[in-house]
């Protein structure tokens, strides 16, 4: 589903700041992938490149066999702090993607169904400022799913939630991804979150991927309580240490 080859991304400046220097990986359809790494290592840039929001300086990103040159019809993105618009109601936020793509008339029932499923229907006339963190997060998820995506990109979507709400949201997303219809990439700085949601886990060092870890038990009910999960967390923590990262170069 995703093929990234020798991806290089630079931000303008003199000299240009290199955010990604030759990143390559691939991801089969229906897989959930988590990207972890220290702040400023290029996680968000990589996600933006997958979303078609930044143009590579070299290399290429292919999604579904096609080179990504801009936002793609069936890619949905959930940004850090959810990217909800304070001036739009819950309904208008959730329906915005369909409205922009000119599919709102056909998708109205779908938006309603998603809002009901997420327990947001009663709140549809409210503005984001009137919602709790978890509710806003659910609006962002509903907006993304309304687009019927085959690729879901998430940038630290749960980072500003309290621990209980965060776990509930992770379960919600796991429930959606377990169906295997959507390929997902999740950027996070939370090791336990990466270990729970990522069937593939990419550990990033500044500008590159230092390790790729397979995690077949991800998203299974009860996975968090297993020794395997705890071992994986310990291992990921180890891999994120600067001296271990340096060794991978």
Question: What does the alpha-carbon distance between residue 165 and residue 179 come to, in Å, rounded to a whole number?
Answer: 22
Closest C-alpha among 102, 120, 188 to residue 153:
188
Length in residues, the chain: 249
148 forms part of the interface with other proteins (CB under 8 A): no
Q: Which of 17, 58, 67, 100 binds other proteins (CB under 8 A)?
A: 100
Question: Of the two residues 69 and 247, which places its CB atom closer to other proteins in the complex?
Answer: 69
Question: What does the alpha-carbon distance between residue 106 and residue 90 come to, in Å, rounded to a whole number?
Answer: 19
Residues with Cβ within 8 Å of residue 69, at least 6 apart in sequence: 52, 55
Q: Which range, of 1-9, 27-35, 97-105, 228-236, touches other proteins by CB under 8 A?
A: 97-105
Question: Of the two residues 39 and 243, which places its CB atom closer to other proteins in the complex?
Answer: 39
Question: Of the two residues 26 and 132, which places its CB atom closer to other proteins in the complex?
Answer: 132
Question: What does the alpha-carbon distance between residue 168 and residue 67 come to, in Å, rounded to a whole number?
Answer: 35
129 forms part of the interface with other proteins (CB under 8 A): yes
Question: Of the two residues 144 and 205, which places its CB atom closer to other proteins in the complex?
Answer: 144
Q: Which of 12, 65, 106, 164 binds other proteins (CB under 8 A)?
A: 164
* CB of 233 closer than 8 Å to CB of 239: no
The 8-class DSSP code of residue 131 comes to S
225 forms part of the interface with other proteins (CB under 8 A): yes
Question: What does the alpha-carbon distance between residue 140 and residue 64 come to, in Å, rounded to a whole number?
Answer: 24
Question: What does the alpha-carbon distance between residue 184 and residue 30 come to, in Å, rounded to a whole number?
Answer: 7
* CB of 158 closer than 8 Å to CB of 78: no
Q: Which range, of 23-31, 81-89, 200-208, 229-237, touches other proteins by CB under 8 A?
A: 81-89
Q: Which of 11, 87, 234, 246 binds other proteins (CB under 8 A)?
A: 87
175 forms part of the interface with other proteins (CB under 8 A): yes
216 forms part of the interface with other proteins (CB under 8 A): no
Q: Which of 26, 58, 67, 101 binds other proteins (CB under 8 A)?
A: 101
221 forms part of the interface with other proteins (CB under 8 A): yes
Per DSSP, the three-state class of 202 is strand
Per DSSP, the three-state class of 48 is helix
116 forms part of the interface with other proteins (CB under 8 A): no
The 8-class DSSP code of residue 225 comes to G
73 forms part of the interface with other proteins (CB under 8 A): yes
Positions touching other proteins (CB under 8 A) are: 48, 51, 53, 71-73, 75-77, 79-81, 83-88, 96-97, 100-101, 126-130, 132, 147, 164, 167-168, 171, 175, 221-222, 224-225
């Amino acid at each position: 589903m995703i093929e990234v080859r020798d991806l290089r991304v630079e931000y303008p400046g003199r000299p240009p700041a290199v955010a990604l220097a030759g990143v390559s990986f691939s991801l089969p359809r229906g897989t959930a992938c988590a990207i972890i790494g220290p702040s400023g290592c290029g996680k968000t840039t990589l996600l933006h490149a997958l979303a078609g929001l930044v143009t590579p300086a070299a290399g290429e990103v292919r999604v579904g066999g096609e080179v990504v040159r801009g936002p793609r019809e069936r890619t949905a993105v959930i940004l850090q702090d959810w990217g909800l618009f304070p001036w739009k109601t819950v309904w208008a936020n959730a329906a915005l993607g369909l409205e922009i793509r000119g599919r709102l008339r056909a998708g109205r029932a779908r938006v309603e169904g998603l809002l009901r499923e997420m327990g947001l229907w009663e709140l549809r006339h409210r503005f984001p400022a009137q919602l709790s963190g978890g509710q806003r997060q659910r609006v962002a998820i509903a907006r993304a799913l309304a687009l019927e995506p085959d690729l879901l990109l998430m940038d630290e979507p749960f980072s500003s939630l309290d621990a209980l709400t965060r776990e509930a949201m992770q379960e919600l997303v796991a429930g959606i991804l377990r169906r295997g219809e959507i390929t997902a990439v999740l950027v996070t700085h939370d090791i336990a979150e990466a270990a729970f949601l990522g069937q593939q886990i990419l550990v990033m060092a500044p500008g590159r991927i230092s390790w790729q870890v397979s995690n077949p038990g991800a998203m299974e009910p009860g996975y968090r309580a297993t020794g395997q999960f705890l071992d994986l967390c310990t291992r990921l923590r180890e891999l994120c240490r600067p001296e271990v990262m340096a060794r991978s170069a």
